[in-house]
Amino acid sequence: MTKYGFLGIGIMGKAMATNLLNAGLDVTVWNRTAAACTPLIDLGAKQGKTAADVVAHCDITFAMVSDPEAANALCFGKDGVLEGICEGKSYIDISTVDADTSNAICHAIKEKGGRFLEAPVSGSKKPAEDGSLVFLCAGDQSLYEDAVDALDVMGKKSFYFPRMGQGAQMKLVINMIMGTMMTAFAEGLNLGDKIGLEKTDILDVIAQGAITSPMFQLKGPLMVKENFSTAFPLKHMQKDMRLALLLGDAHGQPLYTSAAANNAYIKARQDNCGDEDFSAVIKNV
């Protein structure tokens, strides 16, 4: 039976590891502060001593940490992933990191004989709990094939792209469309409001037609109530749009409409909405 490791038991990691355990899989967990592991131990998880220890004793180890700095520390730091990896061991980083970080980790893992997959996810807390995440994987194809059953436990769908970095780039493309759609939606709601239409009527009409989407269904009523409690922080959306626009710049793709939307998020950040939900952009269009 495949032994799975899971490093990083935050909101997302806890939900994902819980789903692995509920599926009856063998899971060893580790977190920088060990207390976070307790609920998983209660569900049958084993406690790893260090990240290196988990990687050395498991076949496939997942990691889910908050940012590139944390991902680097986890891999290259004392008692980190690199100290445990060797031929026959595999590492899958689910964290969202930039291409340079991802490539550096990949390179180091492969030098030690291990296999590596980047697997950033689309979806936040609720999809993680429901097992309905979407995984955007790139890197070692044989590892993807070995891991796909576990990914299917944690998500509803996974994609494999052949070139390292493509998982992260796909996520940027999707988020750029999402951010521009949200700005279009916000402009429409504000225009309707100015000309005397009820925002709730606009939502009702949208819900009946070709442009309805889960995002509009979920965020629309909250936006009307000016409830911007954070699911995806505006400053992160703006960062993703900046990175997507720079990809366009580097590859000669003009992005007039997305660039206009990006400026709306910059304006919103300037007005101290960076930590609110990205739908708060409606206050600045």
Does 96 engage in binding with its own copies (CB under 8 A)? Answer: no
- 175: closest CA among 258, 264, 272, 95? 258
Looking at the Cβ atoms of 190 and 230, the one nearer to its own copies is: 190
Interactions with its own copies, residue window 106-135 (CB under 8 A): 122-123, 134
Does 77 engage in binding with its own copies (CB under 8 A)? Answer: no
Does 43 engage in binding with its own copies (CB under 8 A)? Answer: no
When binding is defined by CB under 8 A, the residue of 40, 58, 82, 285 that contacts its own copies is: 285
The DSSP-derived string for 152-199 is HHHEEEEEEESSTTHHHHHHHHHHHHHHHHHHHHHHHHHHHHHTT--H
- 139: closest CA among 149, 127, 147, 150? 147
The reply to whether 171 belongs to the active site is yes
Looking at the Cβ atoms of 227 and 270, the one nearer to its own copies is: 270
Interactions with its own copies, residue window 217-246 (CB under 8 A): 218, 238, 242, 244, 246
Does 88 engage in binding with its own copies (CB under 8 A)? Answer: no
CB of residue 224 vs its own copies: minimum separation in angstroms? 14
Contact region with its own copies (CB under 8 A), list: 12-20, 62-70, 105-113, 200-208: 200-208
- Helix H segments across the chain? 11-22, 38-42, 51-57, 68-76, 81-84, 99-111, 125-130, 141-154, 166-194, 199-207, 214-224, 234-250, 256-270
CB of residue 151 vs its own copies: minimum separation in angstroms? 13
Place of tokens 């101290």: 272
When binding is defined by CB under 8 A, the residue of 62, 161, 228, 278 that contacts its own copies is: 161
Does 256 engage in binding with its own copies (CB under 8 A)? Answer: yes
CB of residue 235 vs its own copies: minimum separation in angstroms? 10
Contact region with its own copies (CB under 8 A), list: 30-38, 80-88, 110-118, 174-182: 174-182
Looking at the Cβ atoms of 28 and 158, the one nearer to its own copies is: 158
Buried-state track 178-213, b at ≥16 Cβ within 10 A, e below 16: bbbebbebbbbbeebeeeeeebeebbeebeeeeeee
Instruction: Give the 3-state secondary structure of residue 50.
Output: coil
Residue from 14, 171, 199, 219 carrying the catalytic annotation: 171
- 60: closest CA among 39, 33, 81? 81
Interactions with its own copies, residue window 141-160 (CB under 8 A): 156-157, 159
CB of residue 164 vs its own copies: minimum separation in angstroms? 12
8 A C-beta contact, residue 143 and residue 60:
yes
Active site residues: 171
